[in-house]
Chain A
Amino acid sequence: MVDVTTKPMTKTGGRRTPQQSQLSAWSQLKSNRTWLGYWFMLPALAILFLFLAYPLGLGVWLSFTDTRIGRSGVFIGIENYEWLQGDSIFWLSVFNTLLYTIVASAIKFAAGLYLALLLNKHIPFKAIIRAAVLIPFIVPTVLSAIAFWWIYDSQFSILSWSLKKLGLITVNIDFLGDPWNARWSTIFANIWRGIPFVAITLLAGLQTVSPSLYEAATLDGATPWQRFRHITYPLLTPIIAVVMTFSVLFTFTDFQLIWAMTRGGPVNATHLMATLSYQRGIIAGQLGEGAAIATAMIPFLLGAIMISWFGLQRRKWQQGADND
């Protein structure tokens, strides 16, 4: 690796001497730094090409073939997609994914913003509280999903026990055994896991809002809601756009939470497109069909990226900075 990076530099040294008299050191570097730049980009681009760009293309190609594990496939056109179109489980997974994404993202946004506003106030032990809030984001998702699995246990759930003691229910709630219960339970776990990210990043945005704006608005008689609506929200819009794009993206493509808790059950009620794609592609060995399900997620992702792009643009415009 050292070899790779020193090569262009000896070139640099060699080329520098004849020009030395006419050009400053900085402009000399301009003349050949493009070459050096390419060498510096090489490791990152090589990895990203081999393990990201190429598989992305390969995935789309696989979705047009009937590849299985251990057998290379042949091109079969859109047969996989035609098959999926008539597959009720696929459409159920699309429905689940949309429900999961929309409900979880909306609640994550509302609760996260609320938590960020709370944390932005003057409170004792602020640093410790902020650190504690982030813990769900630090702990590996699968491990906290396992904890939720235990909390949602059909017989020994602490939630059922507490509700029974409070006299609110008489029989244990079957959190993960009933289709709709399972959906809401997994959505709750996802919200729980996502709130810290939204809250802490929005808090960082809130901290850049000048307090004098609030003081001025208060002097003019603005209510707390008006202060939020006309100062906080507009100033926060750009960062909200970015945070929510990431949040939607990661919720939409979620896999581990579902896999650790329900594996798509009961009766496919919690299958997301990602888990269904794993089920069909890897477990059942139908790589082509699995790839088709994964590829069907791409249009949604493009939508999310467009939102992110326009959000970023607006932020630059607001700052008055150019693209640098």
Chain B
Amino acid sequence: MTEAKTMGAGRAGASDDHSEGMSYLESVPRRLVTLYLPLALFLVILLFPFYWMALTSIKPNEQLLDMERVSPFWTWEPTFQHIKKLLFESNYPRWLWNTMYVAAAATALSLFASVLAAYAIVRLRFRGAQTVGGLIFLAYLVPPSILFIPLATVVFNYGLFDSPFALILVYPTILIPFSTWLLMGYFKTIPYELEECALIDGASRWQILTKIVLPLSVPGLISAFIFCFTLCWNEFIYALTFLQSVQNKTVPVAIVNEFVDGDIYRWGSLMAGALVGSLPLVVLYAFFVEHYVSAMTGAVKE
């Protein structure tokens, strides 16, 4: 598998070198119609909702509803009243903090459990390791939509209802299968010889893990971290089911439940809430695009 992987990487590298490929065979007008035009169309459709979200959140109220006097696609009088209202006159900072806290804690817990599990499956290869690996993969295929009802009763019985700990303990069921598989792929690429040397020098398994394997798989850990964090932030159905009091909610749930009232002017603050709630993830993503992509594709390829 290691060999196949490096071969794959080598091939990907080769295709980069020849990325020019046979494109010289196509004339410019032809490329315009078959390549740039559809690509531009895709980009416009994929990005328009965010443009619209951002624009709405800085438009003055009267422009939101009056589409005849000024073109709705742009505004010359941006206002921060929606964002100000959001940050200083609502529970929004609190919800943002809840989301971040739950996501960080659940991610940390999942990474801890996944590192140990992935290392055990790949390197300790205990009896039944293959089976356990397969079972963990199957766990990835169990969706929250069929678990939330029984989990609600479980959470209630453990006395965790309406507490962030419910989410911190439940989110890892989504994250562990994914990050274990991702980390298994990374651990496989670390040469056995390094570990054998350390064993001969008298290192314990724990030392090997913390001093050799983990430092060598930092890119994998970052990928797993980013992906887990994003998944936590995105999670909705568990947060909707397990949390009840207003101040405990996470951003996605709070936006849907607390902002949606009959007010005709709600759109400005609603869009501001959606924008501010997405920004942290987009910023994080902008810094680690490559890690994110490798996490997404890595898990599928494995």
A-side residues, CB < 8 A to B, are 1, 5-6, 9, 12-13, 25-26, 29, 33-38, 40-45, 47-48, 50-56, 58-59, 62, 67, 111, 114-115, 118-119, 121-123, 127, 129-144, 146-148, 150-151, 153, 156, 158, 161, 192, 195-197, 200-201, 204-205, 207-211, 214-215, 218, 239, 242-243, 246, 249-250, 253-256, 259-260, 273-274, 277-278, 281-282, 287, 290-291, 294-295, 297-298, 301, 304-305, 308, 319, 321, 323-324
Contact = CB atoms under 8 A, between A and B. Distances in A.
B217 interface: no
Question: Is chain B's binding surface mostly helix, strand, loop or mixed?
Answer: helix
Interface stretch (B74-82, B87-95, B271-279): B271-279
Contacts of A136: 46, 49-50
B186 interface: no
Contacts of B148: 278, 281-282, 294
A25 B200 CA distance: 6
A278 B242 CA distance: 12
Contact of B116 (A41, A135, A192, A290): A41
Contacts of B23: 121-122
Closest 7 pairs between A and B when the two form their complex, measured CB to CB? A37-B126, A40-B120, A204-B297, A253-B143, A44-B117, A274-B145, A142-B252
Nearest to B120: A40
Given A249-B143, A287-B149, A131 B289 contact: yes
B213 to A, nearest CB: 12
Determine which residue in A138, A192, A215 has the highest number of CB atoms from chain B within 10 A of its CB, and name it: A138
Contacts of B129: 37
Interface residues of B, number: 110
Interface string B223-243: 000000010011011001100
Contact of B147 (A35, A43, A56): A56
Contacts of A205: 301
B189 interface: no
A239 B117 CA distance: 25
B43 A38 contact: no
B165 to A, nearest CB: 12
A134 B45 CA distance: 12
A281 B296 CA distance: 33
Given A40-B119, A51-B151, A294-B146, A33 B286 contact: no
Contacts of A29: 199, 205
A83 B285 CA distance: 47
Given A115-B42, A118-B42, A260-B256, 17 more contacts: A6-B206, A9-B206, A36-B124, A37-B129, A44-B113, A48-B177, A111-B42, A118-B39, A121-B21, A123-B39, A133-B46, A156-B267, A200-B297, A204-B297, A208-B8, A211-B18, A274-B145
B251 interface: yes
B33 interface: no
A58 B154 contact: yes
A294 B147 CA distance: 8
Contacts, number: 335
B91 to A, nearest CB: 17
B142 interface: yes
A23 B228 CA distance: 42
A53 B150 CA distance: 11
A1 B116 CA distance: 12
Determine which residue in B64, B125, B177, B297 has the highest number of CB atoms from chain A within 10 A of its CB, and name it: B297
A144 B281 contact: no
Determine which residue in A114, A129, A255 has the highest number of CB atoms from chain B within 10 A of its CB, and name it: A255
Interface string B31-68: 00001101100110111011011001000000011010
B170 interface: yes
Given A33-B126, A294-B145, A201 B296 contact: yes
A196 to B, nearest CB: 7
Contact of A34 (B20, B49, B126): B126
Nearest to B2: A324
A26 B196 contact: yes
Given A122-B23, A291-B150, A298-B146, A38 B126 contact: yes
B256 to A, nearest CB: 5
A192 B8 contact: no
Contacts of A25: 196, 199-200
A205 B302 CA distance: 12
A250 B143 contact: yes
Given A9-B204, A26-B199, A140-B278, A158 B52 contact: yes
14 contacts: A9-B204, A33-B205, A35-B126, A44-B117, A45-B132, A53-B139, A138-B292, A141-B236, A192-B45, A242-B300, A255-B144, A259-B256, A294-B149, A305-B138
B212 interface: no
Determine which residue in B18, B129, B149 has the highest number of CB atoms from chain A within 10 A of its CB, and name it: B149
Given A41-B117, A122-B19, A255-B237, A140 B277 contact: yes
